[in-house]
């Protein structure tokens, strides 16, 4: 039995939003599946957040085709969600116990996500603090807040999938709903990734640069300035593996760079 925490009980005051658009499912036959899944999720009373294309649509008004429906939950709840659906006759899979479960019926499926594949983004109670309420398939559900939505997409930079456009659109349309200090806290260790995304936004929308707070740009650029005065790191690492393990595979297998974890080569005098 899932016992709601104090955090869960406090979520009834979340700010409702009106969906600006509804994604179009690539397979129209999936619509009854999504509607049933939403009702079954709501009936479970296990905390979850609508994510993915549906969340982007809610904040930006962009309607685009999607093949599935994604939800976020805490790691401690993902097994409960899968078990709940299994009891209702759905097929369930633990695709990767580090971050992903899958619920399906026939060709249609629902992804249950509780972290990122690179380990940088565990879903926690704080994700539910700024969640917004949304009417979906006749149910009142919570959609992931724009702060966490951006965080969830910062590292999605593969050759075949890049979520930078989603980040730029969310900043453009929901900048006043983003908790910028919380976003900086989420990306504290990887602050350069945040700077890259903000510079990307400024370049895409030069007339909208004021959507990003000046204090945040000042803070990140000050960090960059301080970093430039330091000697180069001695350990050769390739953090590109946090974007794509495949695209940066050669770096760790042939070029002597360490993965995100583990040992790599030290820089030689010739490289200094």
Q: Where are the domains of the chain?
A: 1-144, 158-229, 231-260
Segments of 168-257 assigned E as strands: none
Q: Which pLDDT score, from 0 to 100, does residue 250 have?
A: 95
Q: 183-204: per-residue pLDDT in tens?
A: 999 999 999 999 999 999 999 9
Residue 49 has pLDDT above 60, yes or no: yes
Is 272 a residue whose pLDDT tops 60? no
* Banded pLDDT at 4 (limits 50, 70, 90): very low
CATH fold, domain 1-144, is Beta Polymerase; domain 2 (3.30.460)
64, pLDDT greater than 60 = yes
pLDDT surpassing 50 at residue 113: yes
Position 169 pLDDT exceeds 90: yes
The pLDDT score that the predictor gives to residue 269 is 59
* pLDDT in the model for residue 271: 58
pLDDT band for position 3 (50/70/90)? very low
CA distance 136 to 61: 15
Q: Which of 24-28, 41-45, 77-81, 159-163 has the lowest mean pLDDT?
A: 24-28
pLDDT of 266 reads 63
**pLDDT class of 118 with cuts at 50, 70, 90:** confident
Could you tell me which residues come within 8 angstroms of residue 39 by beta carbon, excluding any fewer than 6 positions away?
137, 138, 139
145 CB-contact burial (10 Å; exposed 0-12 / middle 13-18 / buried 19+): buried
The yes-or-no verdict on residue 216 having pLDDT over 60 is: yes
Kindly indicate the confidence band of residue 15, based on its pLDDT and cuts at 50, 70 and 90.
low
DSSP state of 133: E
Q: What is the DSSP track for 55-86?
A: HHHHHH----EES-EEEE--HHHHHHHHHHHH
């Amino acid at each position: 039995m899932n016992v709601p925490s104090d955090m869960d009980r406090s979520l009834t005051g979340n700010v409702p939003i009106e969906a600006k658009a509804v994604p179009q499912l690539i397979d129209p036959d999936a619509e009854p599946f999504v509607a049933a899944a939403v009702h079954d999720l709501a009936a479970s009373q296990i905390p979850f957040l609508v994510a993915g294309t549906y969340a982007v649509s809610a904040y930006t008004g962009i309607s685009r085709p999607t093949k599935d429906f994604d939800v976020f939950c805490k790691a401690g709840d993902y097994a409960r969600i899968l078990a709940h659906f299994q009891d209702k006759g759905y097929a369930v899979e633990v695709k990767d116990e580090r971050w992903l479960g899958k619920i399906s019926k026939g060709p249609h499926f629902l992804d249950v996500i509780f972290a990122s594949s690179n380990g940088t983004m565990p879903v926690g109670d704080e994700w539910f603090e700024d969640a917004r309420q949304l009417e979906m398939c006749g149910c009142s559900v919570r959609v992931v807040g724009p702060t966490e939505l951006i965080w969830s997409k910062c590292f999605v930079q593969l050759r075949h999938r890049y979520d930078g456009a989603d980040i730029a659109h969310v900043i453009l349309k929901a900048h006043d709903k983003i908790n910028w200090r919380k976003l900086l806290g989420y990306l504290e260790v990887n602050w350069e990734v945040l700077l890259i995304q903000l510079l990307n936004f400024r370049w895409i929308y030069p007339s909208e640069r004021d959507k990003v707070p000046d204090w945040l740009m000042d803070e990140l650029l000050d960090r960059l300035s301080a970093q430039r005065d330091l000697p180069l790191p001695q350990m050769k690492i390739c953090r590109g593996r946090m974007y794509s393990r495949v695209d940066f595979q050669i770096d760790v297998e042939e070029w002597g760079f360490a993965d995100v974890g583990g040992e790599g080569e030290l820089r030689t005098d010739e490289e200094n």
